[in-house]
A and B are shown apart, each in its own frame.
Chain A
């Protein structure tokens, strides 16, 4: 399925969308940019930390609510669109549901297990309890209310047409978000035959019954890194941080890198992608599942 079709079919206005779930790596920027191009509105974004993508969606006016532990630009600091939205309601006001990294994970596990909440000892003594009604302190524990995304977006190294995704590297809160979500959109570097994915079922990220779309989108995580494929493009994050300091600068950036890009291939053609490609490889040793 094409990215445009996946977003059109599975991400209507008002959706609760989980993305950026592995923290800094494999952020589904291509999927985010397509949501901006299709002018999605009133989204609730769910994630642990967001490295620039939430900021871009907020600046484009797509977002009504943010349910997250951290929003900014990891190597550069503050998110300027996020600040403008929270401080000046530009381009619109945001409803914030503050979490810590641990509590947003628990909120998704609660939804995955279909229970109203899960208890934890984290956040005791934090004022985060006073700003998020979904965190309730009782009996010496904090009860973290379930957060159920309509859709989770993940970028992986490879997947097959049936939605069996192979991912490697740190997982952040990807698994609980996928299980909690109504459906998962998988974008991948390589679209492979099912004989590849099924050769290693332990590495399959989600049950195929959860996956609603598979999009073959090489480079779909740029500027974030993809283990074994791409380094992080630090300079791209720095340029975004500098340009997005002003509304005009952000608008120009958005026009150049999102609105005027018909698709991901065109976007990649404007970059020196080869300088980011990982060329030194370090394959793991295959495991033997046996055949009897």
Chain B
């Protein structure tokens, strides 16, 4: 088994979340690679949607710095306006979305807007982009982030993209959110999952070379742990080969 970076492992894990025939709201950075890996392996019938206004089947063959780069447009199934892509998601046609997060809490609520008071932020983050739309409207979603105590926090200072709200049963339904909510948080150390009915995240698997104690120490809340914590399956040779084909210089996975 060749060695791999934490980001390469995260891409491989994210790709396994994509089911064959899924319509995937792809997003940026690592999920773009995950889509390519899945599409070339277990999900040959998946389609990708990009909020810039694109639908694709085959992943772009050249490196993408953004979803709007020319190689992602050439060979697209559909080039259109953003509101048309959002229309599909508003109708519940997006099976899986990916969202990047800066802060997340135990109920999967994401903050990408303000650290500290919005009127006097300690850190101003870029904002929602399409994140809030994906969190509210896609059928299920997954987020990827670096596992640090300052990122996995007891309470996010601002809910940009809602997960399961206050964690009470049926919170999303009561507030009129159409989609099912977060399915997993993929970090540099582990995979956290949510119960089918939503609620609080639990530790489902720890990445090779890391421990449950280490994950607990780097998590800002009292973390629930599955009865049997698995070891995350390392990326296979073919997953790594695909990742390195889509990111030949390691722009996303080795910096």
Which A residues form the contact surface with B (CB < 8 A)?
Answer: 22-25, 48-49, 51, 68-72, 74-75, 77-79, 82-83, 86-87, 98-103, 105-106, 109, 120-128, 130-131, 140-141, 168-176, 225, 227-228, 231-232, 234, 237, 278, 282
Contacts and interface: CB of A to CB of B under 8 A. Distances in A.
Interface in B41-80: 50-54, 65-70, 73-74, 79-80
Contacts of B251: 75, 234
Contact of A23 (B51, B65, B159, B176): B51
Contacts of A77: 126
Given A69-B129, A131-B118, A124 B65 contact: no
Given A100-B132, A131-B118, A174-B81, 19 more contacts: A23-B51, A23-B66, A25-B68, A74-B65, A83-B123, A87-B122, A87-B123, A106-B83, A122-B86, A124-B136, A124-B177, A125-B172, A125-B176, A126-B135, A126-B162, A127-B160, A169-B68, A171-B82, A225-B68
Interface residues of B, number: 51
Interface of B: 28, 50-54, 65-70, 73-74, 79-83, 86, 90, 113, 118, 121-133, 135-137, 158-162, 165, 172, 175-178, 251
B52 A25 contact: yes
24 contacts: A24-B69, A25-B73, A87-B122, A98-B127, A101-B133, A102-B137, A105-B83, A121-B136, A124-B162, A124-B176, A125-B175, A125-B176, A126-B128, A169-B79, A170-B53, A170-B73, A171-B79, A171-B80, A171-B81, A171-B82, A172-B53, A175-B81, A231-B70, A234-B251
A21 to B, nearest CB: 9
A95 to B, nearest CB: 11
Contacts of B81: 170-176
Contact of B124 (A22, A83, A124): A83
A165 to B, nearest CB: 15
B158 A22 contact: no
Contacts of A126: 128, 132, 135-136, 159-162
A23 B121 CA distance: 26
A168 B125 CA distance: 31
A176 B68 CA distance: 19
Contacts of B73: 25, 169-170, 227
Given A102-B133, A172-B82, A225 B70 contact: yes
A1 B26 CA distance: 40
A172 B52 contact: yes
Most buried by B among A24, A69, A100, A234: A100
B170 to A, nearest CB: 13
Contacts of B177: 121, 124-125
A12 B74 CA distance: 38
